[in-house]
Every structure is written in C-alpha cells, then in structure tokens.
A and B are shown apart, each in its own frame.
Chain A
Amino acid sequence: MIIALIPLLPLAGSIIPFLFSSRSHHAAAAGCVAGVSLILLLAQAPAVFAGQMPIHSWQWIPAIGLNFAFRISGFGFLVACLILGIGLLIILYARYYLSTEDPMGRFYAYLLLFMGSMLGIVLSENLILLMMFWELTSISSFLLIGFWTHRADARQGARMALIITGGGGFAMLAGFILLGHIVGSFELTDILASKEQVQGHHLYAVTLVLILLGAFTKSAQFPFQFWLPHAMAAPTPVSAYLHSATMVKAGVFMLALMFPVLSGSALWFYLVAPVGLVTLVFAAYMAMFKDDLKGLLAYSTVSHLGLITLLLGLGSPLAAVAAVFHLFNHAMFKAGLFMLSGIIDHEAGTRDMNRLSGLWKYMPVTATLTMAGCAAMAGIPMFNGFLSKEMFLAQTLKPNLFGDQAWIIPLGATLASIFAVAYSIRMIHEVFFNGPATDMDKQPHEPSRGMRLPAEILMALCLLVGIFPAVLAGPMVNAAAQSILGPEMPEFTLSLWHGFNLALAMSAIAIIGGIVVFKFRRYLFDSHIWFSRYCDGKAIFETVTDWLIQSGYRLNQAVFNSSLQRYMALLIISVIVLGSSPFWRSETKFLGTATMTAIDPVTFIMGIILILCALATVITHRNRILSIIMLGTVGLIVSLTFSRFSAPDLALTQISVETVTIILLMMALFMLPRNSPKDSSRYRRQRDVLLAGLAGGGAGALAMGILTRPYETISDFFLAQSVPGGGGTNVVNVILVDFRGFDTLGEITVLAIAGLAIYALLHNFEIEAPQTDALGRPWTSDRFPMILANITRPLLPLALLFSAYIFLRGHNEPGGGFIAGLITAAALILQYIASGIVWTRPRLNFDNHIVMAWGLIVALVTGLCSWVFHYPFLTSTFTYVSWPWIGKFELASAIVFDLGVFLVVVGSVMLILVKLGAVNSPDAQTVSTLAQHHPDLEPEKEMF
C-alpha cells in the first residue's frame, strides 16, 4: 500500500494547489505533498539497500494482464529519489521564479501531476501500468511547455513534444503488447526473467525496434532530438525538472530497465550504440553554437543522454553501472545549471550570450555556482561529472561489435568531450566575463535566497559526490546496478583516482582540446552556418506536418467536392463492383432450375409498355410534365401487374399511392420551371447510363438468380395461421396489422414524420408561388370550373362511404386502413382542387396534425392494451358476435390498430398536400384552421 502511495499521492494531490489562493501556500502545499512522498520512499531504503525488492500488487484488469502493481527496485529507488529530491528543490525555486501574473496554482498542479506520473514510471511493476504513466508524463509535459500560452513558440514546442513523445509512446505500447504476448505476462518480474524466450522469438526484432522508438523519442535521441531544444520555451523550472533532470531520463531509464531482457544481442548493439554515439557527438557539437543559455544546456542534455544511451548500447555490465552513475550525476548538475541560467535570465533580463557579459561583478555567488556546474558538465576532476565520464571513456575503449571500426567509438567520445569542455568554457566566459556588462535591460543583482538555495544544494552535492563518491553515491549506485544486472554484477569501486590509464589521457585531451577549440571558435562558427541550414529537425518536422495537411487538403479537394452526382456515382460504382465480386469465380450455376411461367400476349405487351415508359421517363426528364406522365404510366402498369398475378391488395394500394403522388408532383411542378436546365456533359451522361444499366441489370440478375430456385418461406405459416390465428381471410391485411403489426407501427410513424418534415420545410421556407408562367403571362383568375365543383361535392359522401366500406372489409377482403386512408385523402383533396382552399378549408375544419397524432396514439394504445391482459405488446384478439338484424360478424382488436393506420395516412397525406397547395394560393394563409380560432396568433404557431 505504502509503495503505491508514493506515486499516487502527487497524482491525487495535484488538485491541492488549486485550493489555495496565495502563492506561498501553493508552493507549500505542493512541497508538502512531495515531501510526504519522499518520506514514504525513504522509509523503503533499508529494504532496498538490503537487496530486496518490495512489490505490492492488486488485480485491476486481469483480462488483459493489467495489475495495479508497484515495485521498488534499487534502480527505481535511485531515480525516484532524484524525482522527489530535485522536485522539492524545483518547487522552492519556482515559487520565486514565476511572476505574479502566472497562474501559480495551475503550475504546481501540473508539476505534481508530472511528478506522480514520473514516479509511476519508475516504480511500476506492470508494463501496461507503466505505459499509462508514460503517456501521462507526455501530457503533463505538454501542459507545462505550453504554460505561457500566449507565446507561439511555447505552443509549437508543446505540440511538437507531445506528437514526438506521444507517437513514440504508441510505438512502445505496441512493443509492450508484443513483449507481453511473447512472455505471457506483463509483470516486469516475469519479463526480466525471460531473456532467452524473448530473444529467441521471431518477433524479437519488431518488439525491440518498437520499444526503442518509445525510448529514443522520449530521451530525444537522434533523429528525434529536435523537440527538446524547442521544449525550452517552458518556464525554466520546467526545463530544469522535466526536460533535463527527470522526464527525458525516462527513455534511458526504459533502456536500462529492459537491459536484462533485450540487451546482449547484436541487434541491440547495432541499434542502440550508433544512435547514442551520433546523438552524443552531434548534440555536443550543436551546443557549442547556441547563443541562448537554455539552448546550449538543452543540446548538452541531449548529448549527455546520448552518452548514457551509448553506454547501455555497449552492453557490458560495467557500462551499465557507468550509465546509472552518469544518469544520477547528470540530473544533479544539469538541474542546477538550468536553475542558474534561470537566475541569470531572471536577474539580468536576458539569457542571450551575445548580450550577456561581465556579470561576475554583480553576481559572484551565482557565477561560482555556475562554474561548479560547468566543471561537472565538462568533466573536470573533483566534480561528479568527471567520475562517470571517466568510467564512460574507459568503457568506450573495450572491444565491441564494430570490430575493425571499433576505434570510432572512443574517437566520438573524445570529440564530444572536447566540445563539452569548449561549450562549458564558452558559457562561463561569455556570461560572467567578456568585458563589462553593457547590453542589459536592468541592473543585474544576486537573486533572492530561496531562488539560489536549490542550486547551492545541488552544486554542493556535485562537489561532494565528486570527492567522496564511494561514501555518498556508492551504496545507491550499487543497489541500482545490482537490481539491473543481478548475478552479472561486476566488481567496481567508485573513487576519484584510478591511476594513470588511457581514459585519463582521453580526459586530458578533452580538456586541452576544449580550450583550443574555444580559442579558435570563430572559424568553427563560420563553418556552422551552412550546417545549421540543412540540419534543422524542427524544419523537417514542420515539412512533414505541412505535407500531411496538404495531402489532407488535396484529399478533400479530390473526394469531397460536394457534388452529389459524383458522390452517388461513386456509391453505385462501389456497390456494383463489390456486389458482383462473389460471382467472378463462383462455380455454382447462376440461374436455378425452376421452370419459367409461359408468357401470354397481354403480359408481354404490358412488359414492353413498362420498359418503354421507364425509358421515356428518363429520356423526357427535362420536360417535367411529360416525364411525370410517363412515370404515372409506369405506376399504372405496375399495379396492373399486381392484379395480373393475383395481388388485388397491392394493386389497390399501388393505384391509390400513384394517384396521390401524381397530385403531389403536379403541385410541386407549379413552383418549378417547366424545363429543367441541361446540366450534364455528354461524357457524364454516358457514364450515368452505363452505371444505371449495370446497377439495374445487376439487381434484376440477382432477383432472377433467386426466383429461379425453389424455396420455402414463412409465408406458409401466414397462410395457415391467417384465419385461425389472426381472424381474417385477407392474409395481406392480417400480416400488416397483426403478424407484422410492429413493422406497420414503425412505418406509419415514418409516414407521420415525413408529413411533419415536409410541412416544416414548406412552412419555414416561405416560398412564393410564381404569379406568371414561364413566358410572363399571368395565371388565369378563373380558377375553379363550375362543373368540376358541382360534381365533386355530391361525390364526397359517396367516396367517404366507399372508403369506410374498404376499411371495414379489409380484414377479410382486399382493402384495409392504408388503402381506405388514401381513398379518403384523395376524396378530400378533390374538394380542394375543385373549389379552392379559401372555400374548402373552413368547411373541412380539422387540424391534420391532430388527426395524424391521434392515429399514432390509437395504434400505440391498441398495442398497449394487450399488456393489460398480460400479453406482449400488440397481441391481437378477435371474436364473433351476433347482433339482431345484422347477423353474425367479427370483432377484431386489429381493426382498431387499422383505424390508427387509417388516421395517420389521412392526416399526413392531407397535411402535405394542403400545405403544398396553400403555397400556390396567396390568400390561403388567411384561412388556416388555427388562424380562424386565434386570429392574433402568429402563423408559426399553427404547427401541429
């Protein structure tokens, strides 16, 4: 439990700083949280130094092998100490560094969030858990780099950092999954013990590359080094903490953690060592030319990270020890140096070395501290940096897998050391000496005590560790290395003096060479200009992202050109290609064995007419009236076809739908020009003809394929059950209102909504019908022919009676609610056509919305009634009743449902047609049903 608290406290505690309003309280709160964590960590020290590894584990998601498990290995302990120790110093430092305008609570919250996540990485026992913390550090780093949100460079730096490290994180996640897949567990203890299994597996190479990608991006190794210098847009405490001492160490931490299981192969060496070497030399070289103090330190950080990577890449146990030791040392001196550069920036107003000079006079303590830090960075004896660098140089001299070219590693190491010395000297020289201080915004002075104290502590430690390494760092490094290497742990002693050897000579060369390079730096600066032009990682990154955006843009232009015609063509092409693909190689015969019905002359002629009219509809489509007449003919032939094949219900329905549709289309035509413009090119028309032909032919062929095969369907059940189960002899109607009444309920809802939608559309559009025809002639005012009006009025009751008849007989004979509804609607509409809206509406004074709504309600309630009798929704019943005079007849609950259908059909059809008709008549607004009752209501209120 205690172990889990170490990372969880800062994570959960990250909200605490929000609770206070004073700056000191923010810092104190953050400090308390970190302090408690540190105490908890140190309480584990006895166990760790005794060589144990406390593990606490809870199951979290066993299905994917994720446990909420933490461990404290020697190595984890060392890094956790750094995180918390340096973290505390940073909290103190930031209190004085940030200005009053900066949101302090937010800063400390993010800092604690980061601290917890970082502790989570180093203390996790489970790889998936580790991955979660890993990504969390990326997020907190993103938020902290962009802390000064108003600065464009901060935003860009944050974005770049997150994309590079986040991308690496995704790769590493995949690597971890593969690793877990190979080992069969995500527990580190299991994984670290299965070196042979992992390295023998055929996925080893992929796994290794993926994990290395994650580590290299996080630790800013070549070629991903460029994000780190740009992350320096963050406030200096963040740079010191995240981007120098801790977070960027997560990558090399990962390498060291995986060292026991992944290293030792040739592939490991060839991947890790060269990357480390290139990073080491390249970044050290780049650091020499940076005028910005933080830029210099950033490249120096990259270079030192490269050094650690190289050490781990070399793969020998002693190299691993050196890597751990250098990680420890670097965190201390580099964090200190960053803080000092922040102090210089804070007190002198700039950190540009071209402007800084002669600060020694004003801030001697800071200068002394900086010199100590630079000495450690350059590897001068008596400082901790010297010790680990010495071990490093000694390791580079060992034979390695480069064989004859092995000399390249010590050469690179020496070169990098020379550069390191040179840039360290340059930093001291240009900031503190180099003539008097001139180009300064304000009078520089020593910083406040609280700001300098963290740096003093760190520099004192650098010096002390440098002089008494065995006492101060020995046990910790020993425990850390022991936990990585296990039984392979080599004998080593940390001491200041190792005697005269080649490594010492290399150190000497480095120091002398560094001084020489510094003296002649002017020549180097000239040659650097062309180099920097071509080796800017950020520019490459921007080019890649720009290319991405551009290609996205081109994709948009090419695909989403918002031409509906084109979209439809693409959709249909896809369907034709995919729909026909299974038949390309099919062995079975396409057509079945069923014999065709013989063709009689009437059917044949009807078929010909159908085809011709369908073709004519398309050909005449630009002349709208003609086209609609052709379409109407098609509909008529279809309904005749239904009667030919003994489906009177369908024929009736089809013919009523046809009537209503044609009326609708005619009304719509009124508002359109008579001819549609010619809008397609010849090529496109040919393409569309081809597509339509293929699609239609394909659909027909599929239907043929199926119709020519014998089949059994559930229709038999319907036929058998219609009378005994549904109480009706008209199977079609029983299917509609009973067997599949649920479908019908859905469909009438669709109809009702369609009515509403069309109504809303017309209502909101406020289209004015044209006052003249296409030639500019006004429409005739003699609108309602007398004969038509006089015939239709007496026709109405007859038509209504007929539809009632159709409705009532529907359950047993062709008919039913749907057809009756259409007939009624047609009869009513006829009145509107014959006598006009102004005459008709006051006489047919009911609100179609309400009719429609009641229809749905009747249908729903019928369904619900069956619940009362403990039957499922829509269960029907029927009985036979005998009344005097009338005789025996049937009462079915389904007929009530059918009534609902009837009402919905009448309501929605009337709603649409009347609304559409009203558009044509300017004075129709005056007689809307509701307007009569509430003359003061605005027209909008008439909805429903």
Chain B
Amino acid sequence: MNLLLILPILLPMVMAMISVLTGLDRARSGMLAVFGALLHLCASGFLLATVVDHQVLVLWMGNWPAPAGICLVADYLSAAMVLITSVIYLAVMVYSGKEITPHQRRSGYYPLMQFLTAAICGAFLTGDLFNLYVWFELILMASFGIMIMENPGSRLTSAVKYVTMNLLSTVFLIMAIGLIYGLTGTLNMADLHEKVAQVDNTALVTGAALLLMMAFAIKSALFPLFFWLPATYHTLPVPVAAFFAGMLTKVGVYALIRLFTLVFVTDVAVTHTLLMVMAVLTMVSGVAAAASQMDIRRILSFHIISQVGYMVLGLAVFTPLALAGTLVYLIHHIIVKANLFLVSGLIQRATGSFDLKQTGGLYQTHGLLSLGFFIPAFSLAGFPPLSGFWAKLLIIYACLEAGHYFLGATAAVVGLMTVFSMIKIWTEAFWKKKALPVDSPVEPLVDIPFQLMGPVLCLCLLTVLIGVFMEPVLKFALVAGEQLMSPHQYVLAVKGGG
C-alpha cells in the first residue's frame, strides 16, 4: 500500500524511458504519453483515496530508518497536489497531441514533460529537505530543456533569464539547507520540526529560514522576486505555458507551505509577517502590471503572480481555515490558469494572434470557445458558483476572521481588478469585431479540433463541479488545514514509522 507513494514519481520516469527507447519520431509517442498520464491519474487517485483512509502515509526509500534515510510522505496537502498535477498533466498531454510539432517531438518533448511531472510529484511527496532540493533542480533543468526546444533563437534570451534567476534561487536553497543541516544535524522535515525548536540561537534559525523563504519566493514568483516569470511565459509553446503556469510557481508555494507550517514555526512573528507583506505586495503589483498589457499571455502571466499572492496570504494568516483556503485556492488556480493558457492558444489559432488589438469576433464564430474562456475567466475573477468564488471567499473570510481587515479589503480590491483584466480579454477577443486580418503563419481555424477543445471543456467542467460540490472539497481542505496547523500526526507517522 505504501508503495503507492512512489508511483506518481516512478510512472512518468518509466514512461519517459519507454518513449525514448521506442523512438521519439513516432507519432504514437503522443498516444503513449496520454496513456501514461491516464495511469498517473489513476495512481494519484488511489493515493488520495488511501490518504483519506489513513491520514498520513510514509515510505522509506531503501528501507533505511528515520531520520537517516529519505522518506516520501503523503498527507492531505501532498496527495491533493499530486492529484491536481496529474489532472493538468493529462489535459496538457491530450492537448499536446495536436499542438506539438514533429520537431519538438523529436527533440524529446514528451520525455522531458514526463521527467518534469515526476519531479513536481517528487517535490510534493518528499519528506526530506535535500531531496526537495534535488527535485527542484530536476524541475529547473527539465523546464529549461523544454523551453529551448524550438526556436531557441527567439526564446534563448528569456530562457537564460529564467535559468539564471532560478539558479540563484537554487544557490540560496542549497546554502540554506547547508546551514540548517549545520544547525540541527538532520534533513528530515519531521525530524527538523523537533530539532529546530531545540536550537538555542533563534537568530541563526530565522536567518536560515528567511534564506529558504527567499529561495522559494523566487520559485513562487513573490514580490519582489518575480522577474523571471513575466520574462518567460509568453514566449513558450501553448501546452508548455499551460503546464508551467499551472504547476511551476505552485511547487514553490507548496514548499513554502510545507516548511512554514511544519518546520519554521518558532518565529511566526517574523516569518509569517514577512510572508504577509510579500503576499499583499505580490497581489497588488501583479494585478496592476497586468492592467496595461495587451498580450493575452502576458496578462495571464501577471495574474499568476497576483494569484500566488492570495495563496501565500492564506499561509501568512496561519489559521486552519486560512490554510484550507490556500489549498482550495491552489487547486482552483492550477486548473483555471492552465485552462486559460490552453484557451489563449485556441484564441491564437482562431484569430491568428495573441495580441488583443488584433483579435476579435470569437463570440459570434466560436460559441464553444467563448464558453471555454468565460468559465475559467470568471472563475479566476471570483464569481459564483465557480471554484474561484469559494477560493476568494475562504481567503477573505479567513482574513476577516483573524482580524486582518486590511488584508481582506486588499484581497477584495485585487479581485475587482482581476475582473477588469478578464473583461478586457473578453470584450477585446470575443465581443469586439475583428479589426483586420493578421498576417500570421498559422491559418485561422474555424473548427477547433476536439483534441484541443476537449481538455479545455473538461477543465471547465471541473471548475464548475468544484464550485457546485464545494462541500466535500472544503471538508477535505479543512482536514488538510488542521493537519498543517498541528503537524503532530505527520511527525508521528514519520518518526514512529521508521
């Protein structure tokens, strides 16, 4: 049963091997990838079901005992993140079938995406600080590989920025891990939970914690460390952008949540206040920067930043309800943002451009696509009964309940500005009459193939379903929030299970 834990990491890795060995230039590698994603979804589903039954699962790699070996741990948060990863992974794999050029396929698109998925799941599941670093490195390398796969000439500038800033983050990360190991003599996070509290020099602990926070803040694109994101995402191929937009920053957010609930809770006044400040500034600056953009993908990129702010805000408020809100927000946002990026690709296919000035008229010609944009966009903007309404409601609720009235107000105002941007895309790309034909290499598509439309509609449906059946989701999230706030269950499972 515990072996389930390794499956979300192993399956994509094995699939990557298989697709390398069976030949990349075959068109069927796409089918194979979809099959692998389906398996992954099943495994993640089982994992989640098992976690719901058993609360916390632990698997020790190589059968070495605590705290020396590396363990994988799945609590509610991890299992949920893995499941949502596999959902997006599946959607993106299906979409890629029609979108990826033979050239990209031959350059190893599928294996790299599979390694990336494995690494993301690894980061969600690991219970070891250094192992987390390894997964982050793998994420960085794989994402860089995918980024420069085609047209390196035009993407290299942004890819170099991406990789340089992320490498800096990795340097901070490894430094912080070294310091923490020096202070406590352990790398296991559950073990750290106990050891960190025993260190007498709190300043050193907080210093190392802040260094870690900065490393993950770069990864999650928090203010003022978010430069890599808007420099990169708008240059990527659509399915890649969707997957990155959905997952990459969220791994950083996950790491922040994990470490700043499980390990570094000794100096909440400093760490979580800092997170709060960064969260607010992130929310505001992201949404403000989006206001002046006219490229759909740039608008969406800046909104990732502002939405990440909400999630970190939930962590900073640091109550079970707020953490539940953060989890709901993560789930909601990953689905919606990945979907919006997929839709942006369809808009470009249907009108020939990502530039809002040149798009238009889709409301009349592409009814289904309009629906496919409308649902995630208004979910992102926080309208009921879609998932985003609950996510925003929970965060605001938690802020107000904890007495942070200013934060609640900011969250509401930023929500309003999100509405503003979404309406901009809606009126410009869908309502407005198309200005002039664009000379684009892509021939405008009248009928969007089902393979592209299907994932979009499925994710839409998921958004609606999560919105309508919020009760089980929230119940789950509240248990997750409780688990995070009082991690004794986690610690017991890891330390006792050696």
Contact = CB atoms under 8 A, between A and B. Distances in A.
A583 B203 contact: yes
A63 B384 contact: no
Contact of B68 (A178, A556, A714, A943): A714
Interface stretch (A254-262, A332-340, A381-389, A747-755): A747-755
Interface stretch (A487-495, A735-743, A830-838, A915-923): A735-743
Contacts of B59: 872-873
B164 interface: yes
Interface stretch (A345-353, A471-479, A567-575): A567-575
Nearest to A751: B141
Contact of A163 (B152, B160, B230, B419): B419
A713 B230 contact: no
B210 A548 contact: no
A63 B475 contact: yes
Contact of A575 (B21, B69, B211): B211
Interface stretch (B74-82, B249-257, B426-434, B449-457): B426-434
A699 B224 CA distance: 21
B68 A702 contact: no
Interface in A456-510: none
Interface string A724-768: 010000000000001111110011011001101100110111000
Contacts of A62: 471
A763 B470 CA distance: 49
A703 B206 CA distance: 14
Given A132-B389, A571-B225, A754 B141 contact: yes
Contacts of A139: 378, 383
Contact of B384 (A135, A181, A559): A135
Contact of B274 (A128, A181, A578, A721): A578
Q: Which of B70, B218, B291 has the most CB of A within 10 A?
A: B291
A131 B390 CA distance: 12
Given A173-B412, A711-B183, A760-B145, A64 B432 contact: no
Q: Which of A63, A556, A703, A753 has the most CB of B within 10 A?
A: A753
A586 B200 CA distance: 12
B183 A545 contact: no
Interface in A683-726: 699, 702-703, 705-707, 709, 711-715, 717-718, 721, 725
A327 B182 CA distance: 73
B106 A941 contact: yes
B181 A713 contact: yes
B20 interface: yes
A909 B490 CA distance: 41
A690 B145 CA distance: 34
Interface in A372-427: none
A564 B161 contact: yes
A447 interface: no
Given A578-B274, A746-B137, A173 B431 contact: no
B239 to A, nearest CB: 17
Contacts of A181: 400-401
Contact of A699 (B118, B175, B420, B471): B175
A706 B227 contact: no
B339 interface: no
B186 A713 contact: yes
Nearest to A170: B412
A872 B61 contact: yes
A680 interface: no
B363 interface: yes
B465 interface: no
A572 B168 contact: yes
Interface in B357-374: 363-364
B172 interface: yes
Interface in B112-148: 112, 115, 118-119, 122, 130-131, 134-135, 137-138, 141-142, 144-145, 148
B182 A162 contact: no
Contact of A943 (B24, B187, B384): B24
A22 interface: no
A583 B207 contact: yes
Contacts of B69: 739-740
Give the dominant DSSP class at A's interface: helix
A132 B168 contact: no
Interface residues of B, number: 130
Interface string B374-396: 00001001111100010001101
B367 to A, nearest CB: 9
A944 B108 contact: yes
B212 to A, nearest CB: 10
A564 B228 CA distance: 9
Given A564-B164, A750-B137, A756 B227 contact: no
Contacts of A747: 134, 137
Interface stretch (B6-14, B32-40, B330-338): B6-14
B203 A702 contact: no
A944 B110 CA distance: 13
A432 B181 CA distance: 89
A867 B423 contact: no
A535 interface: no
A166 interface: yes
A731 to B, nearest CB: 12
Interface stretch (A231-239, A243-251, A852-860): A852-860
Given A177-B396, A571-B225, A551 B288 contact: yes
A180 B375 CA distance: 29
A548 B415 CA distance: 14
A811 interface: no
B255 to A, nearest CB: 15
B224 to A, nearest CB: 6
A764 B62 contact: no
A596 interface: no
B68 A703 contact: no
Contacts of B115: 749, 753
Contacts of B3: 867, 872-873
Interface in A111-125: none
Contacts of B42: none
B185 interface: yes
A204 to B, nearest CB: 14
Given A739-B69, A749-B115, A760-B145, A570 B227 contact: yes
Given A580-B207, A757-B148, A560 B227 contact: yes
B152 A568 contact: no
Given A139-B383, A162-B419, A743-B130, A149 B161 contact: no
Contacts of B432: 149, 155
A174 B186 contact: no
Contacts of B64: 721, 725, 738-739
Given A171-B412, A553-B292, A943-B106, A765 B152 contact: yes
B61 A567 contact: no
A368 B182 CA distance: 91
Given A61-B474, A174-B396, A568 B168 contact: yes
19 contacts: A63-B475, A136-B385, A149-B433, A159-B424, A166-B419, A170-B412, A553-B291, A560-B230, A572-B168, A575-B172, A578-B213, A586-B202, A713-B185, A717-B68, A739-B64, A761-B148, A856-B17, A873-B59, A943-B107
Give the top 8 A-B pairs by smallest Cβ distance, nearest first. Answer: A713-B185, A586-B203, A757-B145, A132-B384, A552-B291, A706-B182, A746-B134, A553-B292
Interface of B: 2-3, 6, 10, 13-14, 17, 20-21, 24-25, 59-64, 67-70, 103, 106-108, 111-112, 115, 118-119, 122, 130-131, 134-135, 137-138, 141-142, 144-145, 148-153, 156, 160-161, 164-165, 168, 172, 175, 178-179, 181-187, 200-204, 206-208, 210-211, 213-214, 218, 224-225, 227-228, 230-231, 267, 270, 274, 285, 288-293, 363-364, 378, 381-385, 389, 393-394, 396-397, 400-401, 405, 408-409, 412-413, 415-417, 419-420, 423-424, 427, 430-433, 470-471, 474-475, 478
Given A579-B214, A739-B64, A749-B13, 5 more contacts: A556-B292, A579-B211, A753-B138, A873-B59, A873-B62
